[in-house]
């Protein structure tokens, strides 16, 4: 069974995180959410719109080899927290070597900060200047560049989830989920 790690930081974009987790679990992927460690943290992480999610475990207990992919949800506050977290940056670098790495919305900024953003990528249009790297594409909802997957934002989260399922589980499973969810736009 494929497994994906989703780090959650205060201010994450709830639509992206929950949509991705839901679609991946529908595809049979084991998804583990983690919270960032600091002196004030616990397993409850509050998103940008005030929705609180209980994460499965602390990021300090994560081993990259236990997962097939790491996926970062966006939201500026969450993205900045991810990009400043030493363990997140270490995991991104470790996973880039032989796993899949994904980010949506503003979160490709954290990939750039870790030095793992691909040559071709997409992100939330307002994050493009902050990322400030050549290769930005706005013509696709999801961009795959080797083992790096990026997506544009909240409105593309379901499509991004489907692309992850296709990559990790296969096209038949992805098509079954897409049909069952009536997703004609992906």
Residue 25 lies in a domain: yes
Residue 11 lies in a domain: yes
Number of domains into which the chain is organized:
1
Give mean pLDDT, residues 115-126: 96
| Residue the block writes with tokens 């497994």 | 3
Burial label for 174, CB within 10 Å (0-12, 13-18, 19+), is buried
Tell me, what's the pLDDT at 121?
97
pLDDT in tens, 134-155: 999 999 999 999 999 999 999 9
Residue 84 lies in a domain: yes
Residue 8 lies in a domain: yes
- Give me the catalytic one of 105, 123, 159, 186: 105
Q: CATH no. for residue 109?
A: 3.40.50.880
Tell me the C-alpha distance between 128 and 91, whole Å: 23
Tell me, what's the pLDDT at 37?
77
E strand or H helix that includes residue 98: helix 86-98
Full domain range(s) for residue 49: 3-180
Residue 111 lies in a domain: yes
159 included as an active-site residue: no
Residue 143 lies in a domain: yes
Tell me, what's the pLDDT at 156?
97
Residue 7 lies in a domain: yes
pLDDT in tens, 11-59: 999 999 999 999 999 999 999 999 997 655 678 999 999 999 999 999 9
């Amino acid at each position: 069974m494929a497994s994906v790690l989703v780090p959650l930081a205060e201010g994450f974009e709830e639509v992206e995180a929950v949509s991705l987790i839901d679609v991946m679990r529908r595809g049979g992927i084991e998804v583990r959410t983690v919270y960032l460690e600091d002196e004030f943290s616990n397993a409850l992480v509050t998103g940008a719109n005030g929705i609180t999610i209980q994460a499965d475990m602390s990021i300090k207990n994560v081993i990259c080899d236990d997962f097939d992919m790491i996926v970062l949800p966006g939201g500026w506050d969450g993205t900045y927290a991810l990009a400043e977290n030493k363990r997140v940056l270490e995991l991104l670098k470790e996973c880039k070597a032989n796993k899949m790495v994904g980010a949506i919305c503003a979160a490709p900024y954290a990939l750039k900060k870790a030095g793992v953003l691909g040559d071709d990528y997409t992100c939330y249009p307002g994050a493009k200047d902050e990322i400030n790297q050549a290769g930005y594409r706005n013509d696709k909802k999801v961009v795959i560049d080797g083992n790096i997957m990026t997506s544009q934002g909240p409105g593309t989260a379901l499509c991004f989830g489907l692309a992850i399922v296709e990559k990790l589980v296969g096209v038949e499973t992805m098509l079954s989920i897409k049909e069952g969810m009536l997703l004609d736009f992906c």
